[in-house]
Structures are given as C-alpha cells and as structure tokens.
Amino acid sequence: MKPLYAPLALTTALVPAMAAATPVTFTTQMTNYGGDGAYLAYYVTDASGAYLGSLWMAGGKAKYYQHLSGWYAATGGNTAQVDGITGASVGAGRNLTITLDLQDALFDAGYVLHVDSSVEKMSDQPNDVVIPLTSANLGQKMPGKRYVQSVTVSK
Amino acid sequence: MLRFFHRWPGLLALVLVLLLAVTGAALSLYPMAERLAVPQAESNLSVADLATRVATAHPGIEQIRRAPSGRVVAWWFEGGTPGAAVIDPATGAEIGSPDPAFGLRFLTDLHRKLMLGDGGRITAAVGAGLMLLLSVSGAFLVARRMGGWNRWFARARGPLASRLHTELARFAIGGLVLSSVTGLWMTASVFSLIPDGATDPAPESALPGLAPLPLAEIPLFAETPASALKELSFPSSDLPGDSFKLTTDGGAARIDPGTGQMLSFTTPGFFERVTEVMVMLHTGQGAETLGLILGLMALAVPVLGWTGFTQWRSAQTYGSRIKANAAPMKAQTVILVASEGGSTWGFARTLHKGLTAAGLAVHTGALSRFDPARFPHAERFAILAATYGEGEAPTAARGVAERIARLKTPPKAPFAVLGFGDRSFPAFCGYAETLVAAARTAGWAEMMPMGRVDRQSAQDFTRWSRDFGAAIGVPLDLTHLPERPSTEALTLVSRRDYGAEVQAPTTILRFALPSYTLLHRLAGKGFSCFEAGDLIGILPRGSEVPRFYSLASSARDGFLEICVRRHPGGLCSGQLTDLAPGDRIEGFLRRNPGFRPQPGRKPVILIGAGTGIGPLAGFLRANRRHRPMHLYFGARSPQSDLLYGEDCALWQQSGQLTRLTTAFSRSEARSYVQDALRADAEAVAKLIKGGAQIMVCGGREMAEAVRDALSEIAARVGESPASLKEKGRYVEDVY
Amino acid sequence: MKSALPLFALAALATTSIFGALSAAPIDAALPGTAAQLSVPAPAPAPATETSANLLFANRPAPAPVTTSTAPVRLADGHGHGGWFFGMFDDDDDDDDDDDHGGRHGHHGDHDGRNCPPGATNCAQSPAAAGTTDAPANGLFTPGTKPQVQSN
C-alpha cells in the first residue's frame, strides 16, 4: 500500500514549517437527490493522484465505506485514517459546514481535495467534487457532479 | 417457567413486534411487484452486450447495476449534468425513473429503524429477538400441549381463541423464525459485528496510453452472463490509469480498459456469502415468492397477538393456574376441569393439593384440551364438570363429550366424574351425566359412581373426596374453602324503582365504575372491560357464596347497571334494593361470552320478562349501528313495572330499537310474552327465516314457555330451537 | 398433518432460493501477469454462452500465476465450486499460501477476524467519531486541534 507512506513524507515536509496554520471552512451543499443520507469522504491527494490523508468522513458505518470507491482504493478501507474526523451522513438538500485547522502549506502546492459520495440503493460517485487547493479557488463555489451540489473552501 | 418466557415478552413487545410484522408484510410485496414490472433480459445476454447497449445511448456512462429482480439501472454524467434511469436490457432504452417505489423508503425506514437512528435499529433488533424468543418458547408450548414433539402437527383442540392461536402459530412459525434470525443477522452485519465486509479487488493501475477496447472485446464482459451482473463501474476519463470494476454474484474484478485483461480480482468470503443469503431470505429480493410467503406469515402476528392476549386475560380472570402441576407426560393422576365461571377450578385446586400432598404426580388441566395420548402414564382420570343452563356443556368444553363418545380406544386408566350444579334446576349436573354416558359409549372403565356437588357445597365435596380416596387407596378427607374472589367496591349513583303496586318491587341500580390506569385497561382488569350480558358476582354481607346478576350496560357506557327484584327474605336482593345513592357494594366480574348478539347486521329478537330485560336493554343501548332489534317484553302492568319504558321510547326514536311488543299479565288481556310471540308468529317466522338470532333472558318457567312457542313458530320455516341453538342463533340466559 | 404443509413449503422454497443464490459462477482466475504478456493482444473471447463453473478461462490454458499481488491466487482447479460455498474449501487447498496455518479451516479473511482487501487492515471497525479522539496525525491537521462541524 504505497500511498499510505505518502502522509509520512508530507508530515516531515510540513512539520518544520508548522508555524503557519489557519482554520479552513468547507461548506458543502447537497442536491435534492431524493434518497437516504449520503456518505461523503473528503481526502487530499497530490497532483499525481497519490493519497496524502483524509480531512473528513460523513457517515459512521465502516461497512459502507467500500462504496466510497476512490477513498477505499486509496486507503484499503483503513478506518484509522478517519478516526476523530468522522461525523453523521448528510441528507438530501442539506448543508454541511466543517471547520478544520489545517497547515497553510497545503495550499498552492499542487494538492487536490476529492469528495467521494455514495447513497444507499443509488450509484457510487467517486470524485463527486475535485478541487485543486489553490488560493485562487478559495471562496469559490465549486460544482459537484451528482449528490454534491457545491463545495466552497474558505479561510 | 416456559409460559413465563412466552407471556411476558409477548405482552411487552406486542406493539413493537406488531409494527415490525405489519411493515414487513407490506414490504414483502415490493420485490414481487418489481420483478413483474421490469422487462427481463434474454437468457444468453452477456454483460458486454448489455454494457454496449447502455454505453451507446449514454457515452457518459458511469455505473450499471442489476438488482436480483432483473431491474437494470444506469447512471451517467453528460454535458455537465448527472442522469439515471431504469434500462430495458433488451434495447438499452430508458424505461423509467430509478426512484424507489411509492412508500418503499418510508416503510423500509420504519421497519428497519422506526424512523430513528441507531437507537431505532437496536430497538427493531430487540423486537426481532423477542419474536424469536416467542417463536421458540411457543414451539415448546405447542409440543407440550399436543403431548410431545412427535404430535406437534396433530389436531388442535380447545376453545376458539386457544385453538386459533395454536393453528396460526404452526402456520407461521417457520417464517417468523426465518425472518427474525435473518433480521438479527442483518443488524449485526450493519454494526460490523460479523466479518462480512465485501472485499475489494486490489487497486492496480491500467496501462497508460492505450485507447479503450470495444466492450465486446473484453473477455470477462463477453463471458459473464448479464444475469450474474451486480454492478459495473466504468473508468473515469479524468483519471489516467482508472479501470473497470465488475462485481458479480461470484466476486469482483478490476479490468484494464486498454488491454481488456483482469488486473486483480477477489471472491466473496464465507461470511459475505452468508450475509447475501440472509439478506435475500429476509427481503425476498431474489426470492420473491418466498418473500410473499414470509409476508403472509408475518400477517399472522397481529392475530396471534390478539388471541394470545385473550388467553392470558381469561387465565387471569378465571384463575385456572395450578401450583405444582405435573407435566402431562409424567402425571399418574389427571384432573380435568370443565368450568363455566371458575368456581370448579377452585375445587380442582383443592383436590390437586390434597392428592399432591399424598405423594401422587398430579396434572390438572382443562377438559377442553383432553386427548388421551397426552397422558401415557395416567393411572386415573378425575373429571370435575360444571353444567351450563339446562344440562349443557360449559362454553369452554363444548364438543368434548361428543369427542369422548367417538374415541376408538378409550384410555386404559379408569375415570371418575364429579358434577357441579344447582339442585333447583331440572337438569342437575346434567352435563356431568352426559360425560358419563359418553364415556360409557366409548367403553371407558368407571372407577366409581358419579358424584354431585350442589351449589358449591363443601360437605358434598368432602364426602366425594373420601369416596375417591377409598377408590384409589389413598386416605383423603378434603375440606374446600371457597376462594373469595377479589372484589371491587362499587358506589351506587342512582336508582329507579318499579313494580311496588303489583307486588313485584324491582329496582334498576346504576353504579359508578372504579377508575383504572391504562395498563389495567389493557390487561382487562376488573370492571375496566365488560359487555352487556356479562355477569356481576355480588358477595352480600353475611355470605361467602356470590349471587350473579346480568349487566344491563357495557364498560363503554361509563356506568354499571343491573336490575334487581326484591325477594321476600332474600339476603342479596334485600341488601341491593336497600342501597341509597353513595352506598357501596362489593362485586366482581364474570364474563358470559355465550350470551352476546352475533356479529353482523342480521336482525335480533330479544325476548325477556321482568328483570330479564336487563341485558336486553344493554344490547339496545349498545346498538349504535342501528341493527334491526325486536324486543318482546313481558311485565305485569304498564303503569307499574314497565322497566326501561322511557328508554325504549327514546331508543325507538333513535332507531336503536326497531319494534317493541309488550305483554302484561295483570292487564285485561292477561297476556304473557309467549302469547305476544304467538300473536306475532308470522313476523317472527319471517325474521327467523331471514337469519335472525333469538336471545331469551328471564326466569326458567318463562324460558320454557317461550321455547314451546318458538318451536311452533320456527317449525314453519323448517327450524327448531335446537337447530337454531347449534348455530348460536338461539341463546338463553336463564335463572 | 395439514398443519405441516406451510412449514414444508417454506423449507422447500428457502432451500431452492439458497441453492440458486450459491450456484453463481465465481470470478476466479489466474491473474494475467507481466507487461510482456499484456502487450500481446487479448486472446479471442470465448462464446458468450459459455457458462461453466470456471467461467473465465475454463476452456483455455491458464496463464502462469504471478505474484505481483498479495491477492489469494487460485488456479482453475477441479474442486467443483459451482453450487456451494467457495470459502468452504479455500484453506484446504495445498497450493494455499498460508502454510503456517496448517490445520485451520476457514476463510482467508478469518485470520484477523476481518475481511479486508489484501494487505489492508482495520477496515471493518467503525472509526472513532469526531470529538472522541484527536484527528489523525497525517500531517494535514494542526496537532491538537478539534474539527468543528455543523449540519443544516
């Protein structure tokens, strides 16, 4: 599981410069897809798609994580990746706001935020939203493909 | 102990289990409806064919799924918008929205987690666990009742509620066990208590730089029949190196879109397979007919709940519980009880206690469940039988005498019968005599001559116990102390007096109902639940023997009403008719289910004289649906003892009483109620022909005269009181 | 004996359904291996009506297994898997790579009580909810901070 070692590399790269950290808010608006609550996995990869780490998991039952196929393939379903950053699934039409204290070095360094989504009895949607983490994208409403209407990343 | 495990979860879980059963039954219809509604693919269709058809119509295809019903749904993303539709596998055309069927999500949510979160899931699982506990303990109870596991499917006997309970339980038990076990498994699976997580084929990158192959050239797609397909995910064009992922009943594989080769695969683990089977068996998805049958069996649960509850309540009311009761299989002495009100059970308990103290293995049970095969070690049978009405079987033991007479091989162990009755009735211990005659017909050996107990006489019983002891070689000298029924205090709220002028002082007494909690009401405690025609037992001061009066009201009326005629020197009637509003009296309820109007809209002919009008007035008062009811009422004088005269006028106006015919014995016409019937013969015969039920209440002489009159009238339409009685269309409450 | 009929009917239906469900053909094949092999055009597909138990390469010589993956590799052998639990037989195979588990019967996934993809761990246990433990030290978060979440 090569991707699992990547976060360690990032840690060593970032920790010396860790002076700079800011609360970052992720505002997610769901579409009215007419189904049960959606599971959402928020995770970061580098530009080549190699997994760095997870930011948030909406949905508490590990049994369903394999339907978040991008996240599952990257992590092998290792739930330790989302310990302490897991909350409830998000209903259709609802709004989810997550505020995380993130390292500044995450921005403008070629990293990309992915949101995988899945709804019971409906299709799995890996990469429902893909947002390059750049200063230019901050505060922009980035459209989702299926269950996510939009995600806004703001500082 | 077994009963304890069957009864308490049953009562506590009634609501929860009912909800699960009813929603489960409703949900069982969906899989079959879906299978019938979706077009089925041709049998030799491959995944490649299906995927090509869909991909041609929707180049932006992302995922195709096939449900066990054959329903194929495709999801795509084209021109910046997502789309999804049910697909006809034969053409690839869209044939509808993939949204779940009407009500499905609501019912699923309710059934699975009571519209709540994890707490609801756990509660529903507790419900499934209780259902399982009920089914298993119920299976043991059926075995015990039928006399062993090898007789589990034998004919059920006994009163309707208990017979229905057994029959339905045997019908539904397989489905209920299957549904509750699979339901519990599914809950455990959701909470990851079972290692059944689906395995994912290892992520492998596809070779870069190759153009995608046509779907038909990918071997795995061409070879996999579409019927085995569960899910096919297409590679994302945005992700270089992304692959197909094919999931079938037999596993999952990643496929390189450029080379068509399998990159990795996985087959389901043991527990994953088991979970798939459990889900199929529980939901009926992929086993639609089975699902329908399970749904039908789940529908038995409400009826089982009701019949079970009724049995529990009647056991509470009649107090038929026996301490230290030996198992039927082991019992040497078997006491069988046929009781109308419950007092015979009291004698049975005394006998049971005495024989057990003498070191015998004794089983006491209801005569209605009698079946010789249940008692392989019996050495003797003692039958304690009350009599109902004019020598008839108590309600709970109807048909038993006929069954005994038809026994091909009577029990080897001999029997003794002790009859209970009232010497003032012509057929004193009539039913006990019927039983002896039936046993003789079958060739069953008698241990001793039949005994008789008059009006619950302790002396009669002691005498018989000595004889019985002598016959079995055990010294017995039993003293029966009548168990004082637990009574409740009732307060008189009003009284109406009639008949003093015609030497028939009669009073209609109306009492307030005690207040009850909801739990008491649900359990049918005391006077919280009764119908007109039921009886109230009153213990007058200075006597341990209760007197019974028919109730002229139901619990819904909010009061309890009786008609009492004051007899010169009568202890109980004297005390009752002396009551002033605010005074209290001790009483208890005894059900009388044999004296009720049959359900339905057929006309009812009510015939009564004197205080016999009491329950009839109760039926009229309860006749809110305006069923045709014809009242024939005999009194002495219209000026003096026309009980309920004012009420009858009001009920006629409101349509609760169709026609009132009166007969007065101290008027110029000197007419009795049977005369009124004869005068009206044509109309009465017509009513009988039309299916009317006849209900007679009053003194014995009047009842006999009415029976004579009615046998003449009924003969005109080819019926008789006896033939009507068999159909429950001629019922009497005679005193 | 009439009362026994529903039970018999139910048992018969359930058994048929279970057998039907378990008779699915497994996705079960040797992995195609090296890049050299992959550059060779794919072999011609078998007729679409081929539905034998070893569906994929039943009438083709199995390519040599390779070990680039830790996935359990099984040859198209003659265990007659069509129609019963596959997992039942898995660990009894001589070619199994779990020699150290000698006499143990069960499925691969049983070894750690979980059923994870090859090489992965900890995938069946639900994660700790936010607020009950720290965010993972994946280098993205400022250590010691707690996420805040709000849903409307």
Answer yes or no: is pLDDT of B67 > 80: yes
B220-259 pLDDT, tens digit each = 999 899 988 999 999 988 777 889 999 998 889 999 999 9
The answer to whether residue B146 sits within a structural domain is yes
**Residue A51: inside a domain:** yes
Whether residues B28 and B157 fall in one domain: yes
Instruction: Give me the number of domains chain A comprises.
Output: 1
Chain A positions touching B233 (Cβ under 8 A) are 69, 124
CA–CA gap between residue B412 and residue B381 (Å, rounded)? 10
pLDDT of residue B200: 82
- Shared-domain flag, residues B12 and B25: yes
Phi (first) and psi of residue A128, to 5 degrees: -60, -40
**CB of A110 within 8 Å of any CB in chain C?**
no
pLDDT reported for residue C47? 36
C:43-82 residues touching chain A, CB 8 A cutoff: none
Whether residue C133 lies inside any domain: the answer is no
Say yes or no: B719 and B609 in one domain: yes
C112 touches chain A (CB under 8 A): no
Distance (Å) from the alpha carbon of A59 to chain C's nearest alpha carbon: 10
Residue B76 pLDDT > 70, yes or no?
yes
Q: How many CA atoms lie within 13 A of B222 on its CB side?
A: 17
Model confidence pLDDT, tens digit, residues B553-592: 998 899 999 999 998 888 889 999 999 999 999 898 887 7
CA B327 from centroid of its chain's CA atoms: 25
* Interface residue of C1, C8, C10 to substitute, partner B, most B CBs within 10 Å: C10
Question: What letter would DSSP give residue B425?
Answer: S
Residue C135 belongs to a domain = no
Q: Across the interface, do C139 and A8 touch by the CB < 8 Å criterion?
A: yes
Average pLDDT score over chain B: 88
Please tell me the distance from the alpha carbon of residue B2 to that of residue B472, in angstroms, as a whole number: 32
Closest of B161, B136, B199 to residue B395, by C-alpha: B161
Are residue B323 and residue B310 in the same domain, yes or no? no
pLDDT, tens digit, 9 for 90 and up, residues B657-710: 999 999 999 888 889 999 999 999 999 999 999 999 999 999 888 999 999 999
Contact list in B for residue C108 (CB cut-off 8 A) is 269
Task: Name the DSSP letter for residue B294.
Answer: H
State the pLDDT at residue C61. 36
Question: In terms of domains, do B368 and B453 share one?
Answer: yes
Least confident of B200-214, B302-316, B667-681, C53-67: C53-67
CB contacts of C127 in chain A (<8 Å) are 57, 60, 62, 79-84, 86
As for how many domains chain C has, the answer is 1
pLDDT at B158: 56
Q: Tell me, what's the pLDDT at C136?
A: 85
CB contact under 8 A, C38 and B290: no
Mutation pick from A123, A129, A147 vs chain B, by most beta carbons of B within 10 Å, is A123
Interface of A with B in 69-88 (CB under 8 A): 69, 72-74, 76-77
Whether residue B519 is predicted with pLDDT greater than 70 in this model: the reply is no
C70 — pLDDT class (breaks 50, 70, 90): very low
In a shared domain, residues B528 and B652:
no
Dihedral angle computed from the Cα positions of residues B582, B583, B586 and B590, in that order, rounded to the nearest 10 degrees:
-60
pLDDT score at B521: 66
Distance CA B333, CA A12 (A): 88
Regarding predicted confidence, which is higher, C129 or A20? C129
Domain presence at residue C140: no
Residue A3 has pLDDT above 80, yes or no: no
pLDDT at B277 over 60: yes
A121 at C interface, C-beta within 8 A:
no
Question: Nearest C-alpha of chain A: how many angstroms from B197?
Answer: 6
Q: Which of B248, B261, B281 sits opposite C14 (nearest CB)?
A: B281
Q: How many domains does chain B have?
A: 5
Give the range of the structural domain holding residue C81, as residue numbers without chain letter: 15-115
pLDDT tens column, B139-169: 988 887 676 787 788 777 655 677 788 889 9
Range of the domain at A137: 2-7+35-143
**Token pair for B722:** 């006896």
Write out the DSSP string of B3-26. Answer: HHHHHHHHHHHHHHHHHHHHHHHH
pTM value?
0.62
Which residues span the domain enclosing B50?
43-89+200-267
Q: Tell whether C1 is covered by a domain.
A: no
Per-residue pLDDT, B387 = 84
Q: How far apart are CA A72 and CA C117, in angstroms?
A: 10
User: Cα–Cα distance between B221 and B50 in angstroms, integer?
Assistant: 9
Mean pLDDT of B119-125: 91
Assess if residue B596 is contained within a domain.
Answer: no
Of the two residues B525 and B690, the one the predictor is more confident about is: B690
Pair B700, B422: CB distance under 8 Å:
no
Q: Is B600 on the interface with A (CB under 8 A)?
A: no
B440 in the same domain as B370: yes
pLDDT tens digits for C19-63? 888 877 777 654 443 333 333 333 333 333 333 333 333 333 333
Same domain? For B62 and B205 the reply is yes
Q: What is the pLDDT of residue B231?
A: 93
